[in-house]
Amino acid sequence: MYLSKVHLSENFFRNPYEIHRCLWELFPGNDQAARPFLYRLETGSQNGGNILMQSNMRPVEGSEKARLLASRSADYRLEAGHRLRFLLCANPTKRLNVERCRVPFIREDEQKEWLNRKMAPSARLMAPFNVENNRPIYFRRNNQPGKIVTVTYSGILEVQDAAGFMEMVRKGIGPAKAFGCGMLSIARA
What CATH number does residue 99 fall under? 3.30.70.1210
Residue 122, domain extent: 83-188
**88 shares its domain with 64:** no
Summarised one tens digit per residue, pLDDT across range 121-145 is 999 999 899 999 999 988 887 888 8
Quickly state the pLDDT bin for 189 (edges 50, 70, 90).
Answer: confident
Assess if residue 126 is contained within a domain.
yes
Summarised one tens digit per residue, pLDDT across range 58-92 is 999 877 788 999 999 999 999 999 999 999 999 99
* CB contact burial 41-51 (16+ within 10 A = b; e otherwise): beeeeeebbbb
* Radius of gyration (C-alpha) of the chain in whole angstroms: 17
Is pLDDT above 70 for 46?
no
Quickly state the pLDDT bin for 158 (edges 50, 70, 90).
Answer: very high
- Overall number of domains in the chain: 2
Domain final residue pick, 73, 105, 122: 73
Query: What is residue 44's predicted lDDT score, i.e. its pLDDT?
Result: 67
Assess if residue 78 is contained within a domain.
no
**Burial class of residue 92 in the structure, from the number of CB atoms within 10 Å of its CB (0-12 exposed, 13-18 middle, 19+ buried):** buried
Is pLDDT above 70 for 56?
yes
